[in-house]
Structure 1
Amino acid sequence: MARKKDDDLLIEDELAAAFLNDDDLTQTPQDDYVQPAAQPAPLDEPEEDDFPGQLAVDVYETNDELVIKARTAGVNKDDLDVSISEGILTISGTLSSGDESEANNWHIQECYWGEFSRTLALPLAVKEDEAKAALKDGVLTISFPKVVQEQAKKIQIM
């Protein structure tokens, strides 16, 4: 639709009317009172142990290797499990606070203590049987030699 020179954008009342339905037009001021909503029933909270913590990882490649790094500060290497099968890497373990005393009253609790796990599909083909893993200064580093892909050979047409 073409606009005339004197046409302005919809004024506020016209704009409001454009979004009203027939019921809105027949309302009286007392109809504007909104009954407070009832409080929703509380949802069942998942148990703390239902979801293991998620382990953050960095994944990158060099010319020869695929490298995965995970921050695992405070985890003993005996409490870590690293496995790979058909290009799927799983890192799991337990982070213990080392303090087995019962706290009477928490003021702040931001640190995660307990089981964690991370499973990821590797982004490229690697030599799984030649993997190396090291835990140093709280960083788990896993490296895999990359599988060298043969370049496509050009076939000359005769």
Structure 2
Amino acid sequence: MQSRNPFNSAVVVNPFMRDFDALFRELTQPVRRQAPRERVPAADIIETESGVTLQLDIPGVEAKAIQVKVENDVLTVQAERKAEPQAQGVTVHRQERGFGSFARTFALPDTVDASKVEARYENGVLTLTLPRREESKPRVIQVKVQG
């Protein structure tokens, strides 16, 4: 059986040292720039008696760069996050925050009144309120007792 050299960087026994070694190697590697790609933001869809609420996480996007459109019972959200220009002589070691444009569409249920959709953008979250049509709201019918 062949013995291993404990000082060889390819064999690291301590998990902490292995992680530290991997981090150090990542930090010293040149940055590989990736072309901007289309991103799809995470969305939450919440339904209540009064309607549907749609929330999209789109941090770093200016409100004026967000477009919300309803057409033929389809809701479309489009936006673009611009890349931040880098100063001359600056070295970027890691760039994980993406930039570029996206478009996301949602089919609206028949119960939603598309003419009353409202949009609010706060702290990087776009909240769309989609109220129910009056005729689709649940009604409570009083039972009358005769006799």
Query: Shorter-chain TM-score: which interval?
Result: 0.5 to 0.7
**TM-score if structure 1 supplies the norm length?**
0.57
Q: Residues 31-52 of structure 1, C-alpha deviation per residue, up to 9 Å, x if partnerless?
A: xxxxxxxxxxxxxxxx935x52
Say if 2:6 is the partner of 1:48: no
- Aligned partner of residue 136 in structure 2, secondary structure: coil
**TM-score if structure 2 supplies the norm length?**
0.60
- Aligned partner of residue 53 in structure 1, secondary structure: coil
Q: What is the aligned length?
A: 103
Partner of 1:101: 86
Stretches of structure 2 lacking an aligned partner (at least 5 in a row): 1-33, 139-147
Partner of 1:149: 136
Stretches of structure 1 lacking an aligned partner (at least 5 in a row): 1-46, 152-158
- Aligned partner of residue 54 in structure 1, secondary structure: coil
- Report how far residue 135 of structure 1 moved: 0.6
- Report how far residue 105 of structure 1 moved: 4.4
- For the pair shown, which has the larger CA radius of gyration, 1 or 2? 1
Task: Kindly indicate whether the alpha-carbon contact (under 8 Å) linking 2:77 and 2:103 is maintained by their aligned counterparts in 1.
Answer: yes
- Counterpart amino acid of residue 101 in structure 1: Q
Percent identity of the aligned residues? 25
- Counterpart amino acid of residue 128 in structure 2: I
- Counterpart amino acid of residue 119 in structure 2: A
